[in-house]
Amino acid sequence: MLDVKLHNIRDFTLDPHRKVDDYPYGGGAGMVFTPEPVFRAVDFLKEDGEPRKIVLLSPQGRPFSQSMAEAYSKEDERFVFICGRYEGIDERVRTLVDEEVSIGDYVMTGGELAALVIIDAVTRLVPGVLGDDRSSEDESFSWGLLDYPHYTRPREFRGLTVPPVLVSGNHKDIWNWRRKQALKKTLKVRPDIIEQAELSDLDKKLIDEIYSEEDI
């Protein structure tokens, strides 16, 4: 079961104008999220005594990855995502936080979309939450590489044809072709992934083939 609850941080202010930001000590541009409403919101969420993991979304966090999505999908405790706005959050909020996570090296206006990205990537791995999760085993990243090309009917579409190996019925040839295409794509756009991958002898042979055939 998936259950997402949204809490408006302004509901936890003591300020008559429901203000949640203030000027930074030391000066500088931009505003900072004040600690009071965040602490009060977390106190409120902790009232039921259930265990939970408190995650702060920020560009300073650990980069979110498929392996983190897999780990989160296996947790049975709850998650609280703290979504900040403005230039930052009062540093003392970090004393509440179990993990600081970033969805990528760019700056958004708030952490809400980052939380949705994480919720989306995690829930599709939870069995029974969103249909069948088997397709996720086969695809990009679970192989440790980018995905191979996919085709469906018709065999010819506007002059564009399906690679004959995919209709050959030879499963070994199909597997090798897919592996080689995945290696080729990954070498081209994400060579950093190849450097970290554990490559088999077959992978090394396929990479040699790619370099001898392609202008990569």
- Cβ 34 to ligand 4GX, closest distance in Å? 12
Q: Does 59 bind ligand 4GX (CB under 6 A)?
A: yes
Q: Token digits for 33? A: 């999220």
Cα separation, 25 vs 206, in Å, equals 57
- Judged by beta carbon, residue 117 or residue 194, the one nearer ligand 4GX is 117
In the chain, how many H helices and how many E strands? 7, 8
Longest dimension (CA), the chain: 71
Helix (H) / strand (E) element for 58: namely: strand 52-63
Other CB atoms within 10 A of residue 156 CB: 9
- Judged by beta carbon, residue 62 or residue 155, the one nearer ligand 4GX is 62
Q: Does 88 bind ligand 4GX (CB under 6 A)?
A: yes
The span of 66-74, 99-107, 172-180, 195-203 binding ligand 4GX (CB under 6 A) equals 99-107
- Judged by beta carbon, residue 63 or residue 163, the one nearer ligand 4GX is 63
User: In sequence order, what E strands does 14-169 have?
Assistant: 21-22, 32-33, 52-63, 78-83, 88-89, 99-102, 156-157, 160-161
Q: Does 108 bind ligand 4GX (CB under 6 A)?
A: yes
Of these, 54, 55, 69, 89, which contacts ligand 4GX (CB under 6 A)?
89
Dihedral sign, Cα of residue 173, residue 175, residue 176, residue 181: positive
Cα separation, 35 vs 90, in Å, equals 6
The span of 53-61, 73-81, 185-193, 206-214 binding ligand 4GX (CB under 6 A) equals 53-61
Q: Does 164 bind ligand 4GX (CB under 6 A)?
A: no
By CB under 6 A, name the binding residues for ligand 4GX. Answer: 57-59, 84-85, 88-89, 102-104, 106-108, 110-111, 114
